[in-house]
Amino acid sequence: MFKKLALVAAMSFASQAAADHSTGSLLLNHQPTTLDMSAFNQPVLITGVPSFKDAEPGVVSVTSLTANTASLAFKEWDNYDGVHDEELVPYLIFEKGRYEYADGTIIEAGQIDLSSNNQFVLFQEAFPEVPKLYLTAGTNNANRAFNVRSSSLTRQSFKTQLNYAESVNSNSVNEIVNYVAIYAPNKTVDMANGDTFVLNSELLNHTGIQVGSKQLFIQEEQSRDQETVHVRESVSILRIGEYVFATDNSSYGGDTYSLRSVPLNTELTFTPGEQTGERGNIALNGTNGLTTSNFTASSTYSTYIPAAAFDGYNGGTLINSDTRGKTNSGAWLGYQNNAPQWLQVSFAKTAYITGFKTFVYTGAVTPGMSPRRVTLQVSDDNINFHDHETFTLDKVNENQFTLLSPATGKHIRLVVHATHGHNAIVIGELEYYGQFIENDTTQPPTTEPSPDAITCASIKRETSNAVNGTYYVEPSNQYKGNGFQAYCNMTELDGGWTLVANHQDGLDALTTKTQVLPAEPGVLTDMQWRSIINSMQVGIMTIDEHGKIAFISKDKLLGGNCVATNEVASLTFPPVPFDVALLWHDEVVGCSSTGLDYSYIALSTKHTSRSDSHLTVGASLYQHGTKFDIWPYTHAKYSGAEQNQLLIYVK
């Protein structure tokens, strides 16, 4: 479906005559296995994410190293018995040096003599943009398990550190660390030997994300505590076929961890459907049951209707010989108006999308009407849409992308966040590549509460005239026959809301209470909180001391890419993705709450706030990026200047 372009490496050292890279996999347990690297003069070895056949945590470790070989084993953390079953571990070997490719890709492979933790490392030369970075320890002089992490990654440099089990004191033994940094302007690189490198950065925590046919997740070690919840880390991901390589580039969370992967459902049955044109487009109007009514958009100008972006024409230029004919102007045009706009196709069957391509004619590219930043969203019900992956597009006629992992859904939406400067948005043609799922068994489990659950919402349904006050609830099976008293708001936004937190600015700490009331600050116990959030169906409502009501939907809360509310384990100790404690946090770039692209619900105190910010915005709301569904404040972006207290309810 996708054409591969052979690339010739322009190597920075004329003496490098060996092959530029090699890939493969090993079955590793606790006993050393030897890997032959004799084809390389100065091999730089990067190991990939190990499987999860044995659940005991640990890391891939290089136990010994010679000029031509490396001995590797899976080494468990110090508090385990050290005996480990076989894990499948991919590897990547590069010849040491810097490589430049015909498509603009730059790869630098090198080694660091790590003599101190949090060591500053300079690249040989600056990259055009921040590269993806992958690290592997090349030695184990300490003779114990440790993980290699990076932070402060820029075009010119990065910092790296070793994390041992938390019960182990810092170790000063020098280690060799291998690194491979890759800048790929197209996010994919077709190598001369037939390998395709697919690169991306994702936010990853203990719940994991899908990467190809695998679920990639963080596994914390537990030598100091049994808690394994980890904040989202920014992770560089490289996929080569079924091999996955990943290194975190953020160090947001302080707990020691390693990365693991498990296979996803492999029992799906596919049908190719009608694939058209040179690239196998499945979204051409008139194919796969699609008609003009299957194409929609958030806004449309004149004859530039949504279906005109799926007709095989880029404006007046034919680009797909399988076209059923040009539609109107042959392009879609919408207006930005300071809000994201979207273009959507709705299929009859669940689509399995592996890539897409946008076409924009020169007359729209030149004035800046082409999309610059977009997010691919998917939905099965045409109501709840989920962000799948975000892309940056160049100011050119054509931009093509291969997805880091396939997107599945009946309704596929491309959200345009920004253009190259113009208020109007033009897409001449949008092609989607992939196939269709015949026996879709990948639907996520529902979070419907059990039929006999007792919640504020169920009480309101059964007693329409219920008033605000304290009620007995059993939100989940955890409390079957042993519920607790909760305060219910039965009047605002159709009623049925459970009070989970009463928070205000200037607090030194969050106080746990078995019953939270509007009269004094406090948060529910961890078990009460988990039982309520696990039964959430609608979202979160906040009421400030002036009676102003804000609301954000469940779908947005669960989609927070830095803190998803359903993953918060404790209200007493809420997650701190950077330097502020938050109940929900969504941000376009990173998780630092800077750059005016973030949205969050703050639960910060003296010890979990940026400087003294807890005095003024400890209990506050921000919506620079993702918007609240109901926003009552005069300031369009934050609430803190207008309130000091928030009652936080869940329904």
Domains, the chain, in order of start with CATH, read: 10-203+237-249 (2.60.40.3940), 271-437 (2.60.120.260), 456-650 (no CATH)
Instruction: Please check whether residue 13 is in contact with residue 20, taking contact to mean a CB–CB distance below 8 angstroms.
Output: no
CA 490 from centroid of its chain's CA atoms? 36
What is residue 439's predicted lDDT score, i.e. its pLDDT? 59
Residue 337 DSSP one-character state? T
- Specify the residue for token string 């400890």: 618
Which two tokens mark 475?
A: 């939100």
Contact residues for 549 (Cβ-Cβ < 8 A; gap 6+):
492, 493, 541, 542, 543, 630, 632
Contact residues for 499 (Cβ-Cβ < 8 A; gap 6+):
486, 487, 488, 489, 516, 517, 518, 647, 648, 649
d(Cα 309, Cα 178) in Å, to the nearest integer?
Answer: 46
| Other beta carbons less than 10 A from residue 645's beta carbon | 18
Instruction: Please check whether residue 539 is in contact with residue 532, taking contact to mean a CB–CB distance below 8 angstroms.
Output: no
HEC profile for 162-220? EEECCCCCCCCCCEEEEEEEEECCCCEEECCCCCEEEEEEEEECCCCEEECCEEEEEEE
d(Cα 631, Cα 159) in Å, to the nearest integer?
Answer: 41
Q: What are phi and psi of 566, to 5 degrees?
A: -70, -10
| Other beta carbons less than 10 A from residue 195's beta carbon | 16
Please tell me the number of Cα atoms within 13 Å of 645 on its side-chain side.
Answer: 11
d(Cα 310, Cα 319) in Å, to the nearest integer?
Answer: 11
Contact residues for 458 (Cβ-Cβ < 8 A; gap 6+):
449, 496
What is residue 318's predicted lDDT score, i.e. its pLDDT? 96
d(Cα 378, Cα 471) in Å, to the nearest integer?
Answer: 39
What is residue 170's predicted lDDT score, i.e. its pLDDT? 60
Q: What are phi and psi of 95, to 5 degrees?
A: -70, 135
Q: What burial class does residue 326 get, using C-beta atoms within 10 Å of its C-beta: 0-12 exposed, 13-18 middle, 19+ buried?
A: middle
d(Cα 398, Cα 394) in Å, to the nearest integer?
Answer: 8
Contact residues for 191 (Cβ-Cβ < 8 A; gap 6+):
7, 20, 21, 197
The DSSP element (H or E) to which 532 belongs, if any, is: helix 526-533
Instruction: Please check whether residue 426 is in contact with residue 386, taking contact to mean a CB–CB distance below 8 angstroms.
Output: no
d(Cα 277, Cα 634) in Å, to the nearest integer?
Answer: 51
What is residue 390's predicted lDDT score, i.e. its pLDDT? 85
What is residue 567's predicted lDDT score, i.e. its pLDDT? 83
- Specify the residue for token string 């910060």: 604
Which two tokens mark 481?
A: 């026959």
What is residue 358's predicted lDDT score, i.e. its pLDDT? 97
Q: Which residues of the chain register pLDDT less than 70?
A: 1-19, 169-172, 226-227, 264-268, 337-339, 439-452, 476-482
- Specify the residue for token string 């203990």: 206
d(Cα 383, Cα 414) in Å, to the nearest integer?
Answer: 15
**How long is the chain?**
651
CA distance to 327, 365, 376, 442, 651, per residue, from 314 (Å):
11, 12, 21, 35, 47
